[in-house]
Amino acid sequence: MTTGLIDRREAIRRVSALLGGIALVSESALLAGCRDRSADRGGDAARFSDTDVAFLDEVAETILPETKTPGAKAAKVGAFMALMVTDAYEPADQKIFRDGMQQLDAACRTKHNTAFMAATPEQRLALLEEIDREQKTYMDGRAEGAPAHYFRMMKELTLTGYFTSEIGSTKAMRYVETPGRFDPCLPYSPGETIWAAHA
């Protein structure tokens, strides 16, 4: 997990997005690991049940709900988060993520006297707005190499999972597989969405 490197990576990404030689630094490569991984397989924290995936779907749907376009749940973001944590996260980050699911639920019980899965969409949103501020403050102030906040992980995976999905690419954004031409300068009107990436 590389949330600690995002600011620097973001700077590089801006630069590299249009460079032939290093064009492979795509938006989804934000997930790419940088630290060495000593273990090749995660422990219990890497295993996700259907209940876990349903929980992650609801977290993702709260972050990116259905609006005039479909939400994260429709794009199966919960399953994507589970896959990425299992396959791409190192064990220490898997544990942070896994413990974070419990912390999020516990925070919901403290704030709303109810489990997250039983909470209303309004309660969930209020909770995650609070946790989002907490993670932002923590992430902006943490030392280089310090562990990432679990909710930054969830948010990054949700955004990546959604905006690289078919629904995110074609419904929330505009996806053109073969543009056929390059127009270097076009008028832009507010409300027009991003051109989605292909590769």
Partner 1 sequence: MQSQTYDAIVVGSGISGGWAAKELTEKGLRVLLLERGKNIEHVKDYVNATKAPWEYPHRGGRTRAMELAYPVLKRDYPLNEKNLDWWASDQESPYTEVKRFDWYRGYHVGGRSLMWGRQSYRWSEFDFEANAKDGVAVDWPLRTADIAPWYDYVERFAGIAGSKERMAQLPDGQFQPAMPLNCGEQLVSDRLAKHFGGGRRIIPGRNANLTRPLPGRSPCQYRNACWLGCPYGAYFSTQSSTLPAAAATGRLTLKPWAIVTEVIYDKDKKRATGVRVLDAMTDQTTDYQARVIFLCASTLNSTWLLLRSATDVWPGGLGSSSGELGHNLMDHHFRCGASGDLEGLDDKYYYGRRPTGFYIPRYRNLFGDKRNYLRGFGYQGGASREGWSRAVAELGVGGAFKDAMAMPGQWTIGATAFAEMLPNHANQVTLDQTKKDKWGLPVLSIDCATGENERLMRVDMQNDMAETLEACGVKNVHTFDSGYFPGMGIHEMGTARMGRDPKTSVLNAHNQVWDAPNVFVTDGSCMVSSACQNPSLTYMALTARAADFAVGELGRNNL
147-186 residues in contact with partner 1 (CB under 8 A) are 152, 155-156, 159-161, 163-166, 169, 172-173, 175, 177-186
Q: Is 74 in the site for partner 1 (CB under 8 A)?
A: no
Among 4, 31, 74, 77, binds partner 1 (CB under 8 A): 31
56: Cβ contacts below 8 Å, ≥ 6 apart: 48, 77, 78, 79, 81, 82, 101, 154
Among 73, 88, 92, 95, binds partner 1 (CB under 8 A): 88
Among 44, 49, 68, 143, binds partner 1 (CB under 8 A): 68
Q: Per CB under 8 A, which region of 47-55, 81-89, 103-111, 112-120 contacts partner 1?
A: 81-89
Three-state DSSP class for 174? strand
Among 1, 45, 64, 148, binds partner 1 (CB under 8 A): 64
Among 7, 54, 99, 102, binds partner 1 (CB under 8 A): 7
Q: How would DSSP label each residue in 94-136?
A: HHHHHHHHHHHHHHHHHHHSS-GGGS-HHHHHHHHHHHHHHHH
**Separation CA 34–CA 53 (nearest Å):** 26
Q: Is 99 in the site for partner 1 (CB under 8 A)?
A: no
Using only C-alpha atoms, what is the Rg of the chain?
A: 18
